Chains A and B, each alone.
Chain A
Amino acid sequence: MGDALTLMAPIAIFWAGGIGVAAIDGWRGMTARGALVVHLAGFGALALLAARVLTSGPVGMIAGNWPAGVGIRFRADPLGIAFALLSSLVLIVAVAYEAIGGTPTRAFPALSLFLAAGLTGLFLTADAFNFYVFFELSMISAYVLTAFGGQPRQLRAAVIFAVVNLLGSVIFLLGIVALYHVTGSLDMTDIAQRMAFAEQNPAILSGTLLFVAFGVKLGLFPFHFWLPAVYTGVRPSIAAILSGALTNIGTYGLLRFGGEMLPRELSLAAPALALLGTASILYGAVQAIGRAAPDEVVAYSAIGQVGYVMIALAIGGAAGYGAAILFAIINALNKTLLFLAIDLRGAFVGPAVAIGALSVAGAPPAAGFFGKAALFRAGLTVGDGAERAALVALIAAGGALSLLYMFQAFGRRYLEPRAEERPASGRGRRRLVAVVALSLLVFGCWPEPLIALSERAAAVLPGRLP
């Protein structure tokens, strides 16, 4: 199979599938199942691409056979592949969840495919503006998806989500334009090379714009105010998609734009990143402690968990970036599991939520343990003794707080005397959730594939600057 086909097959499958499913729109059961099949096919194509990239190195292609810079360049490297696989997996789970339960609106299956096309595209493109285009495609699909269900609170969530994130998109576009002005190119490799010689002032300003844009996407403190209302307002499958798939844009964007293209500016901003990360961790955790509804607890926890990614980015270097990627991957899986599971009742659900709670708290035998361990490892590599102690203490304190809020909420729901017994949810959804929980357990016992993948992905980025 040719390079171009291997590289573009996942995007092509999602994209064409989206149009196809939108066309057969109307036959409800079929669209959801059809979309699921397309998602699985796209994931298969991604897996093939991943195998190719991980065994014989990155794959590249320039659209239209033009010289680099003139045509849009695509390339699959471990960093992009890791996030593409993760996002696709989360979408598969969310779509399966809806397909099992009978999809209540018609647009969902097609939108999920356009979202997949957008996400896969932005993880595989090597062009800054094309990244923005795929970003827009993902975001507009997400805006419509948040309204999915059509209840007033879902519409309210959709409005908040769309308005705040459109603002983020404008800021992001400004940042891309700034990069173009400074470097005269939109190709990521060109930008990275030329940025090293660019003037400091415009470079740091464009970096700031990009950081704000990705911060909004991540729900990082203080750009997080949209997040709780949106995550708790939308349907569980959409909350899973937003927190498990869409958040990856922010993490990946910071790694790609910050770590690869603006490494000097990123290390200059490290104190600010560490500060906002700390604020996020403490803010999210403290907010989560007092919340009674489990979905609110998980939503605020999402704000807190993003803070750890910031801390890892601030640490930087192979250890920091590796920890950021590993943590982001596991966090996405945790949130997917929890948002889907807390809405269900019946057998398997309690243990599944417990595994998710352990994973968020970073306790074995759930995969989250290795995310936290990677953070500690990264924190311990920091040279300065006081800084190292502060970082380790922060990660430990955050871990203790997350243990508190997750298990306080878990106890309220599952260890109370049986006050209200709602009828058990459908068997299919419970099984799906059990499978996701089991996968977190399996990765908690044998995390080597995740760890190896994140270290390979981190190796794409330049090391820590002096």
Chain B
Amino acid sequence: MNIASSAALPALLLIAALAAPVTLVVGRRNPRRAASAAQVAAGAALAAALWNIAGHGGSVDLPWLPTWGATLSFTFDGISAVYTLLASGIGLAVFIYAGRYLPLHLHHTHRPVSEATSFFALLTLFMGAMIGLATARDLLLLFIFWDLTAVASYGLIGFDHTEAARRGSLMALLVTVSSALLLLVGILLLDLTYGTFDMAELARRATPGTELSVAVALMAIAALAKSAQVPFHFWLPRAMAAPTPVSAYLHSAAMVAAGVFLLGRIYPLIERAPEIQRALVVVGVASMATGGALALVKRELKAILAYSTIGQYGYVVVMLGLGGPTGVGGAAFYVIAHAIAKSALFLTAGAVTEATGRRSLDDLGGLARPLPALAVGSGLAAAALAALPLTIGFFKDEFFFEAAHHDGPVMTVIAALGAALTFAYMARFWGRIFLGRLRRPAAVLPTAMVAPIGALGSLAVLGGVAPAPVAALASAAGAASLQAPVDLHPGYRLVLNAPNVMALAAWGIGAALVAALPWWRGLPLALAAAGDRIGPERWYRSTLDALDRLSDWIHDLEVRDLRSRVASVLVPAGVLVAAAVLATPSDRAFLAGSFQAGDLVVGLLLAIACASGVAAARQRNHVAMTLLLSGVGYSLAVVYAAFGAPDVTLVAVLMETLFALLFLTTLSALPQSLRERLRRRPIESARRRRNVIYATVAGAAAFITVWGILSKPAAFDSVAARQIALTPSAHAKAVVTAILADFRGLDTMGEITVIGVALLGLAALLTRRRQT
């Protein structure tokens, strides 16, 4: 088997697999080195990703689950290139930043430095999972990486051990991992229908139909939940409880991008389910509107960025829904541009909070003077997100406009309005932090915290001046999705074509929106209020509350005492027996044989046994109860004798005697006062009635069962005849002896061991009691 076509992909996968364990091992020795280990891992992954891009990828194929037909198969294609670059490149920048940020953060929150180890181990685990996700060709394998990103995210959101962190991490986990179950069902359905987990194979085999549409719909829901699209978007703002580097990396650039990555990956299938593809446009537009509007009115820095992320991925989803080379290729371009800009802005938010100790726009202003480098770096990133010319963001919008314009006038208007919203909230965000009056003095920031922001900002400008390399990456990704050549040509064309007009309109409207915000902010505020009251987050919370209440209610109903626990076995057993009787033919099911004179003795003995049993149940004196129960046993022993089984009779009589005596000895071992109390304790009448009902149900069920079984004569020869015939061969005179010591001697062996174990238990219980 050809394991790998070149060394580049195995190298990348190896780095991805080893990043977290190595970070963990290094960190356990010296927590201060954990950050360096993570940075080296990210650097190596970035180098390996570039090597793969230069070497035109390759593939790795290893056996994995032959029983289910899943393989460890990875391919490095255009889509892989985009997302591995994001994971490793943005990762490197964030890890460098976090290397300075985290010690300060831990210091502020009075926590030991050693916690840095688990932080960086989780970050590198996430990076590895993301690289695996981007390169996996087998969908079952892809699913494992998919959930692994969510697991890492859970640990990172909860990292701060606050109430908000705990709730936020649980919410993110529930939304992304529960929705992932739909992805799993989709994948398994595809395997069942088309017989393969391999995405490349599926792209060849899948034909439009109900199965495909259902599978694609399920997978798309999971993707939308992961990308924080309406109505699953509410987890993302809550995930902002994580330390800033996590928000910059997972919850803007990488993990949230996994959703649109999946849409790109399964695009060949989405194309064959046009109704689902159209639904993507609707969801995307809703997310654009919700995210954009709320980003415009939120005050907290990270909340603004979180809603902006929801909106921005809305654009990508719309573009994938619109389809075509510009839409699909442009979506990949959009993801790259957004990741660069947004991660820089998150890092800015963290740096601003670190310098001033504030996290709300209301407390900030005029920071351009004390922090000029930060202002420039983040300004470039903000410009990129707002799609100003000479930044990479200009082209992301250009492709978006082109795809929207191609679709029709409605989408054209929506696209321009959406871009206007982006422009407006970015202007507000950057302007309120860096311009105006200085409200708080700002501390000097370490270089390692500003440099990554500057680097990312420069990258945004570089992409705006020379967009060809990014366009080539996006084209390759688009080609992999569409399975047809895609050729994106970003460039500045000074003509009045549709995209340029839309861009101008967007800036104009955007500027007007932000200038007029005081007069119309009621609208987005009303939207936010409505969202709080009837939005999905409210549903989430009330569902959880309702489950909690239901749980307590059921828990209170649960039985606690031994009697009811016994009844809870007997009564359902009776019901099941009744169901079984009803489910089977009733014709001649219950027969009564004829009564002969010889049966009279047996009948009498059984009547005595019954009477003793009933009397024992009504007896309060324990000694009398014991004797009555022995009466049941003795009369049954005589019944055995009547059926000609002297061995059994002898054993029964002896055992009955022994047990009666042992029981009496046990009773005498109880303190007198306890015996008195047990005898005098009144039984309430309600309980007595219940006991009668339980006993009747159980007795009736047992009676019906035995009657039903005995009504049918044995249809086959019993093995007993052969055992009797073989008794002489066992050198025995009586078959019972031969059975006990020979034919079924192992049963005897087992039962005597049971007696031995009972003795052990008796000794353990009684000697303990003596000690206390």
Contact = CB atoms under 8 A, between A and B. Distances in A.
A touches B (Cβ under 8 A): yes
B597 interface: no
B761 interface: yes
B583 interface: yes
A268 B579 CA distance: 12
A452 B178 contact: no
Contact of B761 (A143, A160, A376): A143
Given A411-B170, A448-B64, A451-B67, A201 B712 contact: yes
Given A105-B764, A114-B757, A381-B192, A70 B719 contact: yes
Nearest to A366: B151
A114 B756 CA distance: 10
Contacts of A291: 551, 555
A212 B550 contact: no
A372 B189 CA distance: 14
B751 A136 contact: yes
A430 to B, nearest CB: 14
B62 to A, nearest CB: 11
A405 to B, nearest CB: 9
Contacts of A407: 154, 170, 173-174
A164 B565 contact: yes
A250 interface: no
B534 interface: no
A369 to B, nearest CB: 7
A403 B178 CA distance: 8
A184 B714 CA distance: 7
A1 interface: no
Interface string B537-548: 000000010011
A144 B757 CA distance: 8
B566 interface: yes
Given A15-B753, A209-B705, A111 B760 contact: yes
B568 A376 contact: no
Contacts of A417: 161-162
Contacts of B708: 201-202, 205
Contact of B65 (A18, A110, A287, A451): A451
A400 B543 CA distance: 12
B68 A181 contact: no
Interface stretch (B141-149, B245-253, B321-329): B141-149
Interface residues of B, number: 100
A363 B562 contact: no
B705 A137 contact: no
Nearest to A193: B716
B569 A186 contact: no
B684 interface: no
Contacts of A107: 760-761, 763-764
Interface string A70-86: 11100000000000000
Nearest to A207: B580
A19 B746 CA distance: 16
B285 to A, nearest CB: 28
Contacts of B562: 159-160, 163
Contacts of A451: 65, 67-68
A408 B169 CA distance: 10
A164 B151 CA distance: 40
A364 B148 contact: yes
Contact of A286 (B170, B550, B560, B568): B550
A174 B710 CA distance: 12
Interface in A413-466: 415-418, 445-448, 451-452, 455
B555 A416 contact: no
A72 to B, nearest CB: 5
B188 interface: yes
Interface residues of A, number: 117
A143 B765 CA distance: 12
B144 A369 contact: yes
Given A268-B583, A404-B174, A415-B169, A202 B185 contact: no
Given A184-B716, A365-B151, A373 B555 contact: no
Contacts of B712: 182, 199, 201-202
Contacts of B594: none
A150 interface: yes
Contacts of A412: 166
B576 A363 contact: no
A101 interface: no
Interface string B748-772: 0011011011101101110010000
A74 B144 CA distance: 41
B722 interface: yes
Contacts of B154: 407
B570 interface: yes
Contacts of A364: 143-144, 147-148, 151
B158 interface: yes
B552 interface: yes
B719 A69 contact: yes
Given A283-B554, A365-B144, A144 B566 contact: no
A338 interface: no
Contact of A208 (B162, B165, B705, B726): B705
Contacts of B18: none
A100 interface: no
Which of A106, A185, A199, A372 counts the most B-chain CB atoms under 10 A from its CB?
A199
Contacts of A369: 144, 147
B577 A66 contact: no
Given A396-B181, A399-B178, A212 B573 contact: yes
Interface string A187-218: 10010001001111110111111011000100
A223 B750 CA distance: 27
Contacts of A70: 719, 722-723, 726, 743
Interface stretch (A29-37, A90-98, A127-135): A127-135
Interface string B557-576: 01110101110111011001
A71 B147 CA distance: 53
A301 B358 CA distance: 44
A290 interface: yes
A351 to B, nearest CB: 9
Contacts of A381: 192
Nearest to A361: B177
Contact of B566 (A117, A163, A204, A286): A163
Contacts of A261: none
Given A225-B564, A452-B67, A71 B715 contact: no
A31 to B, nearest CB: 12
Given A19-B756, A205-B577, A369-B147, 17 more contacts: A69-B719, A71-B744, A130-B747, A133-B746, A140-B754, A144-B758, A200-B585, A202-B709, A205-B580, A212-B576, A225-B564, A225-B565, A226-B565, A272-B579, A290-B548, A417-B162, A448-B67
Q: Which 8 A-B pairs have the closest CB atoms?
A: A290-B551, A144-B761, A133-B750, A184-B718, A400-B178, A364-B144, A184-B716, A202-B709
18 contacts: A18-B753, A147-B761, A163-B562, A198-B715, A201-B709, A202-B709, A225-B565, A229-B560, A272-B579, A283-B554, A289-B551, A364-B148, A365-B147, A380-B185, A381-B192, A400-B178, A404-B544, A447-B65
Interface of B: 64-68, 140, 143-144, 147-148, 150-151, 154-155, 158, 161-162, 165-166, 169-170, 173-174, 177-178, 180-182, 184-185, 188-189, 192, 544, 547-552, 554-555, 558-560, 562, 564-566, 568-570, 572-573, 576-577, 579-581, 583-585, 589, 702, 705-706, 708-712, 714-720, 722-723, 726, 742-747, 750-751, 753-754, 756-758, 760-761, 763-765, 768
Interface of A: 15, 18-19, 22, 63-64, 66-67, 69-72, 105-107, 110-111, 114, 117-118, 121, 129-130, 133-134, 136-137, 140-141, 143-144, 147, 150, 159-160, 163-164, 167-168, 171, 174, 178, 180-187, 190, 194, 197-202, 204-209, 211-212, 216, 222-223, 225-226, 228-229, 268, 272, 283, 286-291, 354, 358, 361, 363-365, 369, 372-373, 376-377, 380-381, 392, 396, 399-401, 403-404, 407-408, 411-412, 415-418, 445-448, 451-452, 455
